[in-house]
Amino acid sequence: MSTPIRVVVVDDHPVFRMGMAGLLRSLDGFDLVGQAESPAQAREIVDAEVDVVLMDLDLAGESGVVLTRELLASYPDLKILVVTMHEDDVSVLAAMRAGARGYLLKSAAPEQLERAVRSVALGDLIMGQGVAERALSYVASSPAGGSGRPRPFPELTDRELEVLDLVARGLGNAAIARALTLSDKTVRNHVSHLLTKLGVRDRAGAVAAARDAGLGAGV
């Protein structure tokens, strides 16, 4: 008999977490190692023997994206499948940048979740219906999307250009920080620098300049 897939569920909502645990226990080929409601508990439970972590993005005020990055830094072979209510571009991008191998919405059917966990455990990249299209659209419209057009604003660093694109999409500093896995202070510094380099007085001026250059697509 094949070795069961060892799974940890990380979610701060007890009803959903216990429901997920019950589902996994009912399926053949899975070994539920443990449940965690916080990053602190997850760090205690997850070890090198765990195959897949089912990760929520909102953990009682803490970030599942940050926890994803931390766990993968300690256990590079770990596979993380995000299971969340968030289907916005920023959340998808942040999770995939952090190293998640899959992204499902909590509305996914049980059989879809089962397939996703099995596929992620094998190393596949899995996204739920609609999420993949949004992610591909985001990448295609980003500054590094390979459109063949000259790079706008050569005076900006790559990171500043990335921040400017998100500013032009209407994101606030907190959302940008989450998307790029940066601190709020770092984002504020980038915004300040790019305003100076662009010679504009405020955020509205930066947005206008960015959109004139083709950034902020999809808003």
> Phi and psi at residue 31, in whole multiples of 5°?
-125, 105
Residue 125: C-alpha distances to residues 19, 79, 81, 132, 177 (Å): 24, 10, 9, 10, 24
pLDDT(145) > 50: no
Segments forming the whole domain that contains residue 190 = 147-212
**Least confident span in 68-82, 139-153, 173-187:** 139-153
Determine, yes or no, domain membership for 141: no
Q: Within this chain, do residues 94 and 154 fall inside the same structural domain, yes or no?
A: no
* CATH number for 100: 3.40.50.2300
Which of 3-12, 30-39, 136-145 is least confident? 136-145
Q: Does residue 171 fall inside a structural domain?
A: yes
Q: How does the average pLDDT of the chain come out, rounded?
A: 86
Closest alpha carbon to 183 in 163, 202, 164:
163
Same domain, yes or no, for 16 and 124?
yes
Instruction: Answer whether 0.85 is exceeded by the pTM.
Output: no
Same domain, 16 and 115: yes
Same domain, 156 and 73: no
Q: Are residues 152 and 97 in the same domain?
A: no
pLDDT (average), residues 59-74: 88
Q: How many domains does the chain have?
A: 2
